[in-house]
Structure 1
Amino acid sequence: MLDTILFDGWKSVLRIAIMCMLAYPFLIVLLRFFGKRSLSNVNIFDFVITVTYGATLGSIITSDKMSFADGVVVLFMLTLLQYIVSKLSVNSKGFADLIKANPSFIYHDGKFYEKSMHKHRIRKDDLRGKVRQQGLSSFEQVEAIVLEGDGSLSIIKKGDTQSKDALEGVERSDA
């Protein structure tokens, strides 16, 4: 039994090598054809597609129950559906509002947005770390901290901008 766990014959090794040489370049071409946004992690749907690409590619390469043609159809359909969702979100504000998370204030003008922090499971210690990563020593140097729709935190330094355009549309859930 140990011998089949370590090496089960050249047939499976050859199949994996061939599937790698076919599936990986196919995915690269597919993503280049559909554009840069396919792996941009702009919203939760983009993230899910990215993870699904990896899982599908892994299945194509390692599973003897999935043919290359099956894998191509799965990858193509995932990419096509993601492309349709991204086009609809660009062309329809209502659709975009439905699928994209809005940015939220976590900190603004010296005030922590406690309800928003609790809702998104963010601690002040997490924010302190982000502030330090920006090279700042205190919250007094921070105009705002925004939880973006993709889950990242943006730190706006005081005096960075003369205009507040970047903060338009950010939810104020504690106000």
Structure 2
Amino acid sequence: MEQSHARLLHGLLAYPFLILLLRLFEKRTLTKINIFNFIITITYDATLGSVLTNDKVSFAEGAVILFMLTLLQFIVAKLTTNFNAIADLIKASPAFLYADGRFNEKQMQKQQIRIEDLYAKVRKHGMSSLDEVEAIVLKGNGSLSIVKKEEDSSKETLRGIKE
């Protein structure tokens, strides 16, 4: 019975500790997920699960691991902010799925996106025709962005997106 009380106490301590860590390292820890953040999230889950269920893992050991993971995520976030080469390794680049009146079928096939999905996204943005669309961009986090055509558009926000 004493072990189950210890497990309960570990859980009561580990969960708020993880919340505190995530709050201390601000919103970058909770941004839309990329590959590195996905791995960190899975590892958080495994660590917290071990603290809660494994008698051989103490709260202190779990807390150190959670702290190290959060610190690693923070360091990688800082490095990707300051060094484009590191960001390119960790974060997926945006890509055009539609631009200049044409679908990028090669990119759509590579990303497994159907033309019907793009039409649905355009409709969701209140547009009924592709004539209203400047570009459809698959962002690095996997979400789609619709750029509406405007007469005096400089296309500034579309720079650096690969074809």
Task: Return 5+ residue gaps in structure 2 as ranges.
Answer: none
Give the structure 2 partner of residue 66 of structure 1.
Answer: 57
Match among 143, 159, 162 for residue 168 of structure 1: 159
Structure 1 vs Structure 2: percent identity of aligned residues? 56
Query: Which runs of 5 or more structure 1 residues have no equivalent in the other structure?
Result: 1-9
- Determine if the alignment matches structure 1 residue 86 to structure 2 residue 77: yes
Greater Cα shift, 71-80 or 42-51: 42-51
Deviation at 1:112, TM superposition (A): 0.2
SS at match of 1:97: helix
Deviation at 1:99, TM superposition (A): 1.8
Which residue does the alignment assign to 1:114? Answer: 105
Match of 1:31, as an amino acid? L
Distance 1:46 1:79 in 2: 10
1:48 aligned residue: 39
Q: What is the match of residue 24 of structure 1?
A: 15
TM-score by length of 1: 0.83
Rounded to whole Å, the distance in 1 between the matches of 2:152 and 2:46 is 42
Contact 1:103 / 1:149 at 8 angstroms: preserved in 2?
A: yes
Partner-residue secondary structure (3-state), 1:65: coil
Instruction: Provide the rounded CA distance (Å) in 1 between the counterparts of 2:133 and 2:31.
Output: 27
Question: Given the superposition, is the C-alpha separation of residues 80 and 160 from structure 1 closer, same or farther in structure 2, using an over 3 Å criterion?
Answer: farther
Against the structure 1 CA distance between its residues 101 and 141, is the aligned structure 2 distance closer, same or farther, given a 3 Å change threshold?
A: same
Report how many aligned residue pairs link the two structures.
163
Q: How does 1:84-163 map to 2 (within 5 A)?
A: 84-159=75-150, 162-163=153-154
CA distance in 1, matches of 2:118, 2:107: 13
Cα distance in 2 for residues equivalent to 1:168 and 1:133: 25
The answer as to whether partners of 1:46 and 1:82 remain within 8 angstroms in 2 is: yes
- Cα distance change on mapping 1:132 and 1:12 into 2, 3 Å: farther
Write the distance in 2 (CA, Å) between the matches of 1:118 and 1:56: 37
The offset of 1:35, in angstroms, is: 1.9
CA drift of 1:65 comes to: 3.1
Structure 1 stretch 144-153 or stretch 15-24: which is displaced more?
A: 15-24
> 1:126, 1:114 → 2: CA distance?
13
Q: TM-score, normalised by structure 2?
A: 0.88
How many Å separate the matches in 2 of 1:160 and 1:29? 48
